[in-house]
Amino acid sequence: MVVGLIIACEVAFWVLLAAGLAFRYAFRMPRVGLALLLCEPLLEVVLFAVTAIDLKNGAEPGWRHGLAAVYIGFTVGLGHSTIRWADARVAHRFAGGPPPVQPPKYGTARAVHEWKVAGRWILAALVAMALLQGAVWYVGGDGETGSLRAWQLRMVWVIGINVLIAASYTVFPKVSEQER
């Protein structure tokens, strides 16, 4: 049930995003579009509640509960930037908006950009880890929490990889052809 709900939440995320942008730009109803976009966090609240109820009803904590926490964390950390990314492109393509801002390609500006991206991924992983820890405490010492702990370890890897990527742009900045 939890896996099906995760899939439904992901599909609903993209449907709400498409509908929100359609109402905002195609139908020229920006308030309705904004209302639809503001419904996005409700998906995570529903997923969180269903996962908690599933655990409360005695379900063995498993990979699906961990996946739910990770999905919520990643939506918190990356959802807003995804919506902004899509909004800029739809506004440019269909509403005569300015071209989307491209990330810098070289030097310190690129390193700063990469640290911002890493920050979003780190936030996502930290939220997921906090939810996973909450689930471990919720289940208590009597339940098998190994799968939840395994998800926490995966989130440590996500943090480490993103720090390494951002640090590589700091230590070895890309240089344009003109600067060589």
pLDDT tens per residue, range 107-147? 999 999 999 999 999 999 999 999 999 999 998 877 789 99
Could you report the per-residue pLDDT of 78-99, keeping only the tens digit for each? Answer: 999 999 999 999 999 999 999 9
Q: Delimit the domains of the chain by residue range.
A: 2-175
Burial of 15 (0-12, 13-18, 19+ CB in 10 A): exposed
Cβ proximity of 135 and 73 under 8 Å = no
User: Smallest Cα–Cα separation from 32: which of 40, 24, 44?
Assistant: 24
The yes-or-no verdict on residue 152 having pLDDT over 90 is yes
| DSSP structural state of residue 144 | -
Cβ proximity of 25 and 91 under 8 Å = yes
